[in-house]
């Protein structure tokens, strides 16, 4: 029997608060530190590993986190989720994004439909469509192949698919899996669509319109923008557009689209990269087989997240340590720092996935909570960040936990040996050095050159950023966020906080304003 309780009502949490804190600097020093780095690690899918040696935990704290996981029934709640309970209570919806990449538990049937079958059918439809495009069976009106795919979507219909596209673009080009260039139009700023349209050959472009409801203001506006451009170029827009939407949306049966691929209300935008939302654009860009490999990586990682043993469940341990850092140690933020240029936009995706899920002040019953919930998430790729905001991370007055990601091998494989090492070795040397610098610090007579250390971090290490690794990393963070939501007892799957702005923006556009809103509208010439 599952019970949903606030974090501060759990006895294991109180015990955790009272446990002696770990001196990270002491723990990471000397040979004991070396042993710790070897042992505080666990395998992930796709040959990745999650190493948490540089976190301020020890066996005692991990036992405490395990007790918290048990009392908060994290694994039972995850099972309830993948077995089809209504976990998104606010919107009264199931939460089924994991089902796009595997069957973790029972068959989930909703509205008489086996949902796993539904999702895989959509994948199959997308695969057939993508193959037909690649083979030149679906072409533009002149019988010419499409060379570019343009995703029109915002938020979850943009950030995740875009981050994954950038994540795998060079891998695909290097391995012969690159089929079509992808571009993305998201912002309602007209310069976004105009600049993308200026950069492509519209006659050979296929547009993927992504909106679950079929009503997202930005996306419909950008659709019109694109249709105008197609019309001006003398092209039939309906031969250049596909829709990704829900079956009940106005877009679903429209003859305005070459094809429609379906998602449903059980997959939230920020968790939709593995659904048709990511599936269409990524299958068109890299081929359906690459997308399937990505799903496999995510599915394998999901399986690890079902393990009751926190020492064998990377996502759950990561989540628990994050809550410990946020609520017990009082840290306000987490930095995501991939040492991989390919993951340059992955922190922006996690920023949405995490902050939109757990940036809540009420529990799942709508009662205010008495503790802090989701932290600020930000990040840029290393080594770039080292020459930017790392100063504050090393010597600022707040401690900010760090989430590193690193790969032994680059994607393209071109490299240069300078001063006895390759660029890839330099990249890896830097991430290793940073973990230790943050944890151990360095004493100095000059306070300005002194490093306190004690800055906790973890690292996900992989051989290479492949489709499987990309999927596993995505799953890791999605599940981490889900577990944290369970611990904080919030509903991670709604986003009521985005509504008020939409309502007021409509009022502005209808000139139905007074007070401050009217003056701002005037100042902005609306």
Q: Which two tokens stand for residue 148?
A: 């570019």
523 binds a copy of itself (CB under 8 A): yes
| Of positions 94, 182, 220, 310, contacts a copy of itself by CB under 8 A | 220
451 binds a copy of itself (CB under 8 A): yes
**Which residues 369-388 are close enough to bind a copy of itself by CB under 8 A?**
369, 371-374, 376-378, 380-384, 386-388
| Of positions 97, 183, 360, 480, contacts a copy of itself by CB under 8 A | 360
For residue 387, indicate whether it is catalytic: yes
| Of positions 17, 60, 144, 190, contacts a copy of itself by CB under 8 A | 190
Shortest distance, CB of residue 242 to a copy of itself, whole angstroms?
Answer: 21
Whichever of 5 and 39 has its CB closer to a copy of itself, that residue is: 39
For residue 452, indicate whether it is catalytic: no
Shortest distance, CB of residue 490 to a copy of itself, whole angstroms?
Answer: 10
| Of positions 2, 109, 132, 194, contacts a copy of itself by CB under 8 A | 194
| Of positions 356, 403, 456, 478, contacts a copy of itself by CB under 8 A | 356
Shortest distance, CB of residue 212 to a copy of itself, whole angstroms?
Answer: 12
Q: What is the largest CA-CA distance in the chain?
A: 74
322 binds a copy of itself (CB under 8 A): no
**Which residues 16-45 are close enough to bind a copy of itself by CB under 8 A?**
28-31, 33-34, 36-38, 41
Pick the catalytic residue: 218, 356, 380, 478? 356
Number of residues binding to a copy of itself, judged by CB under 8 A: 161
Q: Which two tokens stand for residue 321?
A: 């340590």
359 binds a copy of itself (CB under 8 A): yes
348 binds a copy of itself (CB under 8 A): yes
Asked if residue 210 lies in contact with residue 151, where contact means CB atoms within 8 angstroms, the answer is yes
For residue 232, indicate whether it is catalytic: no
136 binds a copy of itself (CB under 8 A): no
Bridge partners of 333, per DSSP, are 376
- At 250 the three-state DSSP class reads coil
Asked if residue 153 lies in contact with residue 159, where contact means CB atoms within 8 angstroms, the answer is no
92 binds a copy of itself (CB under 8 A): no
Secondary structure, 3-state, 90-145: CCCECCCHHHHHCCCCCCCEECCEEHHHHHHHHHHHHHHHHHHHHCCCCCCCCCCC
Shortest distance, CB of residue 290 to a copy of itself, whole angstroms?
Answer: 18
231 binds a copy of itself (CB under 8 A): no
Q: Which two tokens stand for residue 204?
A: 């050979």
Whichever of 130 and 342 has its CB closer to a copy of itself, that residue is: 342
Whichever of 67 and 362 has its CB closer to a copy of itself, that residue is: 362
| Of positions 51, 140, 273, 458, contacts a copy of itself by CB under 8 A | 51
Asked if residue 393 lies in contact with residue 448, where contact means CB atoms within 8 angstroms, the answer is no
148 binds a copy of itself (CB under 8 A): no
230 binds a copy of itself (CB under 8 A): no
> What gap in Å lies between CA 456 and CA 53, rounded to an integer?
9
Dihedral-angle region of residue 311 (phi above 0 means left; psi in -120 to 50 means alpha; beta otherwise)? alpha
Shortest distance, CB of residue 407 to a copy of itself, whole angstroms?
Answer: 9
Q: How buried is residue 135: exposed, middle or buried, by Cβ count under 10 Å (0-12/13-18/19+)?
A: exposed
| Of positions 237, 251, 305, 342, contacts a copy of itself by CB under 8 A | 342
Q: Which two tokens stand for residue 344?
A: 């340059």
Asked if residue 150 lies in contact with residue 230, where contact means CB atoms within 8 angstroms, the answer is no
509 binds a copy of itself (CB under 8 A): yes
Whichever of 33 and 288 has its CB closer to a copy of itself, that residue is: 33
Distances (CA, A) of 250 to 216, 220, 260, 271, 329: 12, 12, 11, 22, 49
Distances (CA, A) of 222 to 11, 197, 218, 477: 51, 11, 6, 30
Whichever of 113 and 194 has its CB closer to a copy of itself, that residue is: 194
Asked if residue 315 lies in contact with residue 305, where contact means CB atoms within 8 angstroms, the answer is yes
Whichever of 123 and 216 has its CB closer to a copy of itself, that residue is: 216
**Which residues 260-319 are close enough to bind a copy of itself by CB under 8 A?**
269-270
Whichever of 199 and 238 has its CB closer to a copy of itself, that residue is: 199
> What gap in Å lies between CA 413 and CA 463, rounded to an integer?
13
- Phi first, then psi, for residue 459 (nearest 5°) are -140, 140
367 binds a copy of itself (CB under 8 A): yes
Query: Which segments of 158-313 does DSSP mark as H helices, in order?
Result: 159-175, 190-198, 217-232, 276-286, 288-304
**Which residues 157-186 are close enough to bind a copy of itself by CB under 8 A?**
158-159, 169-170, 173, 186
Whichever of 31 and 111 has its CB closer to a copy of itself, that residue is: 31
DSSP 363-425: -TTSPBPSS--SPEEE---TTGGGGTTHHHHHHSSS---EEEEEESS-SS----EETTEEHHH
Peptide bond into 4 cis (omega under 30): no
Whichever of 83 and 425 has its CB closer to a copy of itself, that residue is: 425
Catalytic residues: 356, 387, 502
């Amino acid at each position: 029997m599952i019970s949903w309780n606030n974090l501060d009502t759990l006895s294991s949490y109180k015990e955790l608060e009272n446990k002696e804190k770990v001196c990270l600097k002491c723990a990471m020093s000397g040979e004991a530190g070396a042993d710790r780095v070897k042992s505080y690690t666990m395998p992930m899918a796709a040959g990745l590993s999650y190493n948490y040696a540089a976190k301020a935990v020890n066996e005692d704290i991990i036992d405490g986190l395990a007790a918290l996981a048990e009392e908060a029934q994290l694994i039972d709640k995850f099972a309830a989720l993948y077995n089809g309970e209504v976990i998104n209570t606010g919107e009264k919806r199931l939460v089924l994004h994991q089902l796009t990449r595997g069957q973790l538990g029972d068959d989930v049937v909703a509205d008489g439909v086996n949902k796993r079958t539904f999702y895989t059918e959509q994948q199959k439809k997308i695969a057939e469509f993508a193959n037909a495009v690649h083979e030149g069976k679906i072409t533009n009106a002149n019988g010419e192949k499409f060379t570019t795919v343009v995703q029109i979507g915002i938020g979850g219909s943009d950030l995740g698919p875009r981050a994954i596209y950038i994540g795998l673009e060079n891998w695909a080009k290097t391995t012969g899996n690159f089929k079509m260039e992808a571009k993305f139009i998201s912002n309602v700023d007209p310069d976004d669509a105009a600049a993308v349209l200026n950069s492509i050959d519209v006659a050979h472009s296929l547009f993927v319109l992504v909106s679950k409801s079929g009503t997202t203001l930005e996306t419909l506006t950008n659709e019109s923008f694109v249709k105008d451009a197609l019309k001006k170029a003398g092209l039939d827009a309906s031969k250049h557009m596909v829709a990704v939407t829900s079956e009940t949306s106005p877009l679903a049966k429209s003859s305005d689209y070459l094809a429609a691929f379906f998602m449903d209300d059980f997959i939230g935008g920020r968790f939709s990269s593995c659904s048709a939302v990511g599936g269409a654009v990524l299958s068109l860009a890299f081929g359906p087989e690459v997308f399937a490999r990505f799903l496999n990586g995510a599915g394998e990682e999901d399986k690890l997240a079902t393990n009751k043993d926190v020492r064998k469940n990377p996502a759950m341990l990561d989540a628990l340590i994050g809550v410990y850092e946020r609520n017990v140690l009082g840290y306000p933020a987490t930095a995501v720092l991939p040492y991989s240029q390919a993951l340059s936009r992955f922190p922006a995706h996690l920023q949405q996935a995490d902050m939109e899920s757990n940036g809540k002040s009420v529990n799942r019953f709508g009662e205010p909570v008495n503790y802090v919930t989701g932290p600020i998430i930000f990040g840029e790729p290393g080594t770039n960040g080292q020459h930017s905001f790392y100063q504050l991370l090393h010597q600022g007055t707040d401690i900010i936990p760090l989430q590193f990601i690193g790969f032994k091998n680059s994607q393209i494989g071109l490299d240069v040996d300078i001063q006895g090492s390759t660029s890839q070795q330099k990249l890896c040397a830097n991430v290793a050095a940073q973990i230790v610098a943050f944890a151990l610090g360095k004493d100095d007579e000059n306070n300005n050159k002194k490093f306190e250390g004690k800055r906790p971090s973890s690292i996900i290490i992989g051989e290479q950023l492949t489709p499987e690794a990309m999927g596993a990393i995505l799953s890791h963070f999605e599940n981490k966020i889900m577990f944290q939501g369970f611990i904080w007892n919030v509903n991670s799957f709604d986003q009521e906080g985005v509504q008020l702005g939409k309502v007021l923006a409509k009022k502005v556009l209808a000139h139905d304003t007074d007070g401050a809103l009217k003056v701002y509208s005037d100042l902005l010439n609306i």
